[in-house]
């Protein structure tokens, strides 16, 4: 009886991110990402055919049709569906997470900010807008990850997505002020790596960030501790309070 009660109160295990999706996210290949996410959609012929490297990766997971280099896009799509072993209507590939609880948007935001990565973000965001605010096990959002990795264009792009036509000013402010488990915002991450460009970008989006949070170590105080004089000057000059 005790065992059954314990089992009933346990949280379900998270869905592990599909390795093909992870590969596409790490490489910034929006074509492969879109190919995967469009699986199961009724169409005579998929409009996007992934690269041979992607097909080889699929073959490594036991695909039969990919042994034939001339396999059709539909055959590849069928292989992907078989590999997942789950109907696309019941489980989304975007539900999967990495070992640290990161979503595919966390991965894309971390690995690059070239056009391919930015387009990948748009594809993901168009399907699952809530992932923009998702936090991993460390409490990091995709914005934290992008700032920590020094991805200027990615940081800018994520902020612009938070400012879409349906978002209120307060919602954008909430996005920029989200803290991880260390009580740090994306601005703290930019200070840690000494990236004054990203610091300026975030401060232009919310000039109150320099002294946020009130009850913890602010980015301005952190910059002084780290002897990041230029960043400290930027934060002080752009701070609204």
CA separation for the pair 186, 224 (Å, rounded): 17
Domain span at residue 84 reads: 15-96
What's the sign of the alpha-carbon dihedral 155, 161, 162, 168? positive
Contact 231, 218 (CB under 8 A): no
Domain count, the chain: 1
Does residue 158 fall inside a structural domain?
A: no
Does residue 72 fall inside a structural domain?
A: yes
Does residue 238 fall inside a structural domain?
A: no
Does residue 37 fall inside a structural domain?
A: yes
Contact 236, 199 (CB under 8 A): no
Q: For tokens 């948007």, what's the residue?
A: 105
pTM: 0.81
Does residue 125 fall inside a structural domain?
A: no
CA separation for the pair 124, 139 (Å, rounded): 20
* Tokens at 136, concatenated: 């991993």
Q: What is the pLDDT of residues 54-101, one digit of tens each?
A: 666 655 554 443 334 445 555 555 555 555 444 444 457 899 999 999
Does residue 138 fall inside a structural domain?
A: no
CA separation for the pair 114, 134 (Å, rounded): 22
Q: For tokens 């989006």, what's the residue?
A: 205
pLDDT of 28 above 70: yes
pLDDT for the residue 92: 79
Question: What's the full length of the chain, in residues?
Answer: 241
Cα–Cα separations (whole angstroms), residue 202 to 52, 54, 68, 195: 39, 36, 49, 11
Q: For tokens 């748009």, what's the residue?
A: 122
126 membership: H or E segment, kind and range: helix 115-127
Q: What is the pLDDT of residues 122-147, one digit of tens each?
A: 999 999 999 999 999 999 999 999 99
């Amino acid at each position: 009886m005790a065992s059954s009660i314990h089992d009933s109160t346990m949280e379900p295990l998270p869905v592990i991110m599909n390795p093909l999706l992870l590969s596409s996210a790490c490489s910034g290949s929006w074509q492969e990402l879109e190919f995967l996410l469009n699986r199961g959609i009724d169409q005579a012929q998929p409009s996007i055919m992934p690269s041979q490297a992607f097909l080889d990766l699929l073959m490594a997971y036991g695909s039969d049709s990919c042994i034939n280099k001339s396999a059709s896009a539909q055959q590849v799509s069928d292989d992907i569906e078989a590999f997942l072993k789950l109907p696309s209507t019941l489980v989304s590939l975007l539900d999967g997470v990495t070992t640290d609880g990161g979503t595919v948007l966390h991965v894309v935001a971390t690995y690059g900010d070239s056009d391919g990565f930015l387009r990948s973000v748009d594809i993901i965001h168009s399907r699952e807008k809530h992932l923009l605010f998702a936090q991993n096990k460390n409490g990091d959002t995709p914005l934290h990850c992008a700032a920590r990795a020094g991805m200027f264009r990615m940081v800018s792009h994520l902020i612009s997505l938070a400012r879409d036509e349906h978002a209120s000013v307060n919602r954008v402010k909430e996005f920029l002020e989200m803290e991880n488990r260390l009580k740090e915002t994306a601005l703290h991450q930019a200070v840690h790596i000494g990236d004054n460009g990203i610091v300026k970008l975030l401060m232009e989006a919310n000039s109150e960030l320099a002294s946020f949070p009130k009850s913890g170590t602010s980015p301005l105080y952190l910059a002084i501790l780290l002897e990041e004089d230029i960043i400290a000057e930027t934060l002080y000059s752009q701070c609204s309070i």
